Structure 1
Amino acid sequence: MGCDGGTIPRRDELVRVKQKPEQKDKDAEREFRWLHCALTQQRLQEPIAMCTMGRLYSKQSVIERLLEKEKMPDSAAHVRSLKDIKTLQLTPNPAFTEEDKTEGLLDTRHAPYICKLIGLEMSGKFRFVALWSCGCVLSERALKQIKGNQASTCPLCLQPYSVEDVIVLNGNDDDLELMKVKCEMRAAKRKSAKKDKKDAKKTEVSVKSEPTNEVATTLSKEEKPSTSSGATNGHKLKMVANPKRLGAVNAMQDPEMKRLKTDFSVAKDPKASDVYKSLFTTHKTDKEQERAHWITYNPFYN
C-alpha cells in the first residue's frame, strides 16, 4: 500500500519532530531600525533625532509624546525631556530617489543618507556614529581614519568633542552598555562644570569686593590725616580765639566799658568828681533848677 515505484520516505515524514522556532530576518530587522522611528514604528520624518542609546526617532513624534505626557515604551523609557535627545545633522544621498522608498531590502536600493566624508550609505551595513556635542553623523570608518590628526574636533563642523560624545547609532548589546556608561560620564561632567561655574562666580564676587574694601581702607587712611589736620587747625583756632574771648570778658569788666551800658549813671559813679557830675542832667542841682537846660532836651516837658 503506497510507496510504490521505489519511493523512500524521510524520517521527518514518518516521525513527528519538534518544530524549530521561526527565526528573524536580520536584514529586514536592520532595515526597519534604520528607516523607522523607534517610538512610533512609523517611517522616519525629518528632523531626525537620536537618544543617548543611539536609537533613531522622528523629533516631532517625541515632542508630541512628551507634551501629551504619555508613557514611553521600555525601549525609550530613558527619554524624559528634550535634553535626552539630539537632533542629527544628516547628509542626503544624491542617488536616493522616489523609487527607493518602495518596499524592499536596502541591499537592492539606495539609503536616504550617506557619510559626507567617504560616501558610505547609512543602510546599516556599515557602522555609523553621531557626536552628541554637535549632532553630526559620519561613518565609524571615517572617524577612525581622521582620529589621528583631529582627535578632539568634529571633521564636519570643527566643533570640539570628547570620547563620551561619540554615540553608536543602532548598536548591538555591547554598544548599548557602552552608551550607558558614556551617558553617566556626560552627566557627571555637566555637574562638575556647573559646580566650577558657581565657584568661579563666587571667586569673581569676592575679587570684586576685595578692591572695594581696599579702596575704602585707602580712603579712610587718606582722610585720617586730613581729619587730624582739621582737628589741629580747629584747636589752633580755639587757642587763638580763647585770648580774644578772655580779652573781651576783661574789657566788659573794665569800668570804662561799664559806662557804655544803658543802665550806667554818672551820678552813681563813685570815682567821678562832683564837678564832673554837675555837667550832666542827672545831677540833683539840674533836677531842682527852674530854668531850662543849656542843651536842646528839656526834661520839664515830660
Structure 2
Amino acid sequence: MQSVQIFLQSPDLQIPTQTLTLSPIQTPTLHHLKLSLFSQTLPSLFFTLNGKPLLDSTPLLTSRIPPLSTLILRIRTPGGGGDGGATGAESRDCYLNMYAEKKPDKVDPYEQRLSKFLNCSLSNEPLKDPCVVDMLGNVFNKEPLVEALLGKKVPKAFGHIKGLKDMIPVHFTSISGQGLESRAEASGPRFQCPISGLEFNGKSKFLALRSCGHVLSAKALKEVKSSACLVCHVGFKEGDKVVINGNEEEVAALRERMEAEKAKSRVKKAKKAKNEVEEEGVEGVRLSGTKHGIDGKGGENVKGVSIGPAVKKFKAVDVAPAHATKEVYASIFTSSSTKKFKETYSCRSLPLGRN
C-alpha cells in the first residue's frame, strides 16, 4: 500500500502544524496514530476533521480521511451530562443542525447568525488567522479554502471562488487581547470593531475594506465620514466595501457588482489583445492563418477572445512622404505595373518611355 500524507494540528496542546507521512500497515487506525505520537493511550485525546469528531477505530485508508487532510487533535473536556452526546469538539453548527431536524420551526435565528460570524463558512471550524472574505461577504479560514481549491472540492455554493484573486485577506480586532488562536470552545463573540467597539456577533452590520482588509462596523464608517480607512488610513472607494454575512438584498447587490467587474475585466482583456494585434499590423507584419489566430472569415481570435475583422494589409502608398507622387513611390516597391505599355523591338521587358 502507498503511504498517506496528512496534516496534524493541536491548538489545545499548542503543537504547531505537522506534516505526517503514514503507512496504512503500521498505523491502520487513528488509535495506532495516537500510539505513534504518545507513549501511552490517552482517552482524553481525540481527532476531529472539518469540525466532526472521529472514533479511534476509524481506519486511515478510508474515504472519510482523504490524503492531505488536516486532522486536529483535541482534549475532551469532562461534562456533567454523562450521556456521551457532547464531546466538546462539535461546532455550534452541529447543535443547530441537530436541533433543526427535531424542531425546524424553533431554531433561534440569532444562534444561526452568530455561528456564521464565529465559524468558517466552509469547514465550520472556529475562525483563526489567516482569514479571507469572498466577494459575497462569506468568511473563511484561508487554509481549508485553499485545500478545497487544490483538491477541486469547493462546494457549488462557493463556485464563484476560482483562486486567490477572488479572496480578500481580512484583519479582525480581538476583544480583551483574545487572539485568533484562542481556544476553539470559547463561547460568545471574540472580535469587535476597533473604532466603535461593537461586537462581531451578527447584531451589527460589519464591512470589510478590499483596499486594506480591515473589518469595521457600518456605524463607525457612517459616523466618521472619511474616504480612508479609520485604522491604517489607506484610501478606499465605495466599491471597496464588502458587507460581511449580509442579508439577501445585500448579497444580491454584491453578486451583481461581482458579475459587472468580471464582465468589465473580460472587455478590458479583449481590448488589450486587439491593441497588441493592431500594433503588429502597423509595423508591416501581415498576420494570416491559424498560427496568428485569424479565422477564415477575416476575423481574429487572440487568446480565446474575438476581436473583429482582420488587420488591414500594409500598403506602401499609405506611408508615402509628403509631396511625393503615390504612383511613383509605390513603383519603388513593386516589380510590375497593371497598366499596359507599348513595347519596342529592342527591349520587350521595359515599357515605352523608360528605355
Distance 1:178 1:92, change over 3 A: same
Aligned amino acid, residue 258 of structure 2 = C
> Deviation string for 1:165-185 (max 9, x for gaps)?
211001111111011012123
Alpha-carbon shift at residue 138 of structure 1 (Å): 0.5
Correspondence for 1:75: 157
> Deviation string for 1:14-47 (max 9, x for gaps)?
xxxxx98532211221221111111111222210
Matched pairs, number: 192
Correspondence for 1:27: 110
Q: Which runs of 4+ in 1 moved over 4 A?
A: 97-101, 191-206
Mapped contact 2:122–2:145 kept (Cα < 8 A): yes
Aligned amino acid, residue 117 of structure 2 = W
Correspondence for 2:130: 47
Work out the CA distance in 2 between the residues paired with 1:145 and 1:202.
Answer: 51
Mapped contact 2:110–2:202 kept (Cα < 8 A): no
Alpha-carbon shift at residue 103 of structure 1 (Å): 5.7
Work out the CA distance in 2 between the residues paired with 1:45 and 1:26.
Answer: 24
Distance 1:203 1:129, change over 3 A: farther
Correspondence for 1:127: 205
Work out the CA distance in 2 between the residues paired with 1:76 and 1:34.
Answer: 17
Aligned amino acid, residue 114 of structure 2 = E
Correspondence for 1:187: 262
Tell me whether 1:163 sits opposite 2:238 in the alignment.
yes
Alpha-carbon shift at residue 161 of structure 1 (Å): 2.6
Work out the CA distance in 2 between the residues paired with 1:155 and 1:193.
Answer: 32
| From 244, 248, 252, the counterpart of 1:173 | 248
Work out the CA distance in 2 between the residues paired with 1:95 and 1:32.
Answer: 21
Work out the CA distance in 1 between the residues paired with 2:234 and 2:277.
Answer: 29
Mapped contact 1:165–1:182 kept (Cα < 8 A): no
Alpha-carbon shift at residue 99 of structure 1 (Å): 8.9
Mapped contact 2:191–2:200 kept (Cα < 8 A): yes
Distance 1:20 1:76, change over 3 A: closer
The correspondence of residues 208-227 of structure 1 with structure 2, limited to 5 A, is: none
Correspondence for 2:169: 87
Distance 1:176 1:99, change over 3 A: closer
Tell me whether 1:57 sits opposite 2:135 in the alignment.
no
Tell me whether 1:145 sits opposite 2:223 in the alignment.
yes
- Could you tell me which runs of 5 or more consecutive residues in structure 2 were left unpaired when the two chains were aligned: 1-101, 282-320, 322-355
Work out the CA distance in 1 between the residues paired with 2:219 and 2:114.
Answer: 20
> Deviation string for 1:47-78 (max 9, x for gaps)?
011111101100000111111122x2233222
Tell me whether 1:154 sits opposite 2:221 in the alignment.
no
Once the two structures are aligned, what percentage of the paired residues are identical? 30
Q: Report the RMSD for the aligned CA atoms in angstroms.
A: 3.9
Alpha-carbon shift at residue 162 of structure 1 (Å): 2.5
Mapped contact 2:130–2:141 kept (Cα < 8 A): yes
Work out the CA distance in 1 between the residues paired with 2:104 and 2:218.
Answer: 34
SS in 1 for 2:105: coil
Aligned amino acid, residue 28 of structure 1 = E
Correspondence for 1:294: none
Alpha-carbon shift at residue 197 of structure 1 (Å): 6.8
Work out the CA distance in 2 between the residues paired with 1:126 and 1:39.
Answer: 22
| From 181, 187, 190, the counterpart of 1:112 | 190
Alpha-carbon shift at residue 164 of structure 1 (Å): 2.3
Mapped contact 1:92–1:112 kept (Cα < 8 A): yes
Distance 1:32 1:198, change over 3 A: same
Distance 1:194 1:146, change over 3 A: farther
Mapped contact 1:164–1:185 kept (Cα < 8 A): no
Computing the radius of gyration over CA atoms, which structure comes out larger, 1 or 2? 1
Work out the CA distance in 1 between the residues paired with 2:160 and 2:121.
Answer: 13
Work out the CA distance in 2 between the residues paired with 1:161 and 1:197.
Answer: 26
Mapped contact 1:51–1:84 kept (Cα < 8 A): yes
Alpha-carbon shift at residue 202 of structure 1 (Å): 9.4
Alpha-carbon shift at residue 96 of structure 1 (Å): 3.8
SS in 1 for 2:120: coil
Mapped contact 1:52–1:179 kept (Cα < 8 A): yes
Q: Larger strand proportion, structure 1 or 2?
A: 2
Distance 1:101 1:42, change over 3 A: closer
